[in-house]
Chain A
Amino acid sequence: MEGNIAILGYGLSAIGPGIGIGLIFAAFINGTARQPEARGVLQGIAILGFALAEALAIFGLVLAFVFQ
């Protein structure tokens, strides 16, 4: 079997952000369902949170390449 074990690290690092992003958007959907008029404000916050959570997975991907 060929490949790089660093890719496994990326896989592991994607778990946490995956869960986090799921929670963020679940909360966003909940909030919008309860208060549709707050959608605009919530959207900005949700995407900001999404970007911040995503950073961790990106580190995983980058480190996978760094230790190639």
Chain B
Amino acid sequence: MSTPVLAADGGEFQPPGVGSFDFPPIVAGITKPMVLLVLSIIIVGVFFWAALRKSSLVPGKMQFAAESTYDFVRNSIGRDMIGGKDLRPYLPLLVTVFTFILVNNVFGFVPFLQLPTMSNPGVPYGIALIVWLVYNGAGFARHGAVGYLKHQTWPPGVPGWIRPLVTPLEFISNILVRPLTLSLRLFANMFAGHLVLLVFILGGEYLLLHGGVLGMVAGPLALILSIVLMFFELVIQFLQAYIFTMLTASYIGGAVAEEH
């Protein structure tokens, strides 16, 4: 539809692509995602510090907000997935993962920043690697090497003749693929969401400026839609942080659980 319009205008529209995520260094090899990463831990740190500085039994506004976040991770995610007595050692990891990813995701919604840090795959890979080490380490510590492998790949109640099929599959899905899906899910959601927003905003801008009469109608429509989409993305950003934390908790819970 837009091709004749573009052709009439003469300028060629370059759709945003994977190149939109390759940021040139601002100064001395420091890129925008790096700044955002540092900013995110400052935000989270200050948030918790300000909330807990004058902590009391009856929470104030700030403490209530921090407590709701903490409570959400602790009770809605952690306790459901890991269970009461094993939860405490892994609680800091869950809280860190949730707040870190949430803040970095929500950067995609904040004006002027407008970039979910996790839409570059480096950090999700790193966090997924940490999670992989933690849950496998927890399983080894709990069940021993052989016990843990049996725990993860030898589901009880499976008929003997299907074991040659089930056990490698369980190994692949439980040990090998989990960190990949964990990181790629986060990365791909943020990447795709940001790309869709870019298409709407840049395309709308292009239509408005170079699209002629039809573009004058279609351009603002696209920009309005981009705002709607941005709120939709906000939901996704929150959901992805939640899913990442929940899966982390679920993997740890599965690794340290007693026999099924």
Contacts and interface: CB of A to CB of B under 8 A. Distances in A.
Are chains A and B touching in the complex at the 8 Å CB cutoff?
yes
Interface of A: 40, 44, 47-48, 50-51, 54-55, 58-59, 61-62, 65
A54 B185 contact: yes
Contact of A51 (B76, B80, B177, B243): B243
A14 B111 CA distance: 31
A13 to B, nearest CB: 12
Size class of the B contact interface (CB-based, 8 Å): 10 to 19
5 contacts: A48-B250, A51-B246, A55-B177, A59-B184, A61-B192
A50 B239 CA distance: 11
B185 A55 contact: yes
The list of the 10 closest CB pairs from A to B, nearest first, reads: A55-B181, A51-B243, A58-B188, A58-B184, A61-B188, A58-B185, A62-B184, A44-B80, A51-B247, A47-B243
Contacts of B246: 44, 47-48, 51
A51 B185 contact: yes
B242 interface: yes
Contacts of A40: 76
Q: Is the interface of A mostly helix, strand, loop or mixed?
A: helix
Contacts of B243: 47, 50-51
Contacts, number: 32
Interface of B: 18, 76, 80, 177, 181, 184-185, 188, 192, 239, 242-243, 246-247, 250
Contacts of B177: 55
A48 B76 CA distance: 13
Contacts of A65: 18
Given A44-B246, A47-B246, A51-B247, A62 B185 contact: no
A58 B243 CA distance: 14
Nearest to A57: B188
A29 B132 CA distance: 33
Contacts of B192: 61
Interface centre among B184, B188, B192 (most CB of A within 10 A): B188
Contacts of A48: 246-247, 250
A58 B244 CA distance: 14
B46 to A, nearest CB: 30
B194 to A, nearest CB: 14
Nearest to A55: B181
Nearest to B181: A55
Nearest to A44: B80
A58 B186 CA distance: 10
B250 to A, nearest CB: 7
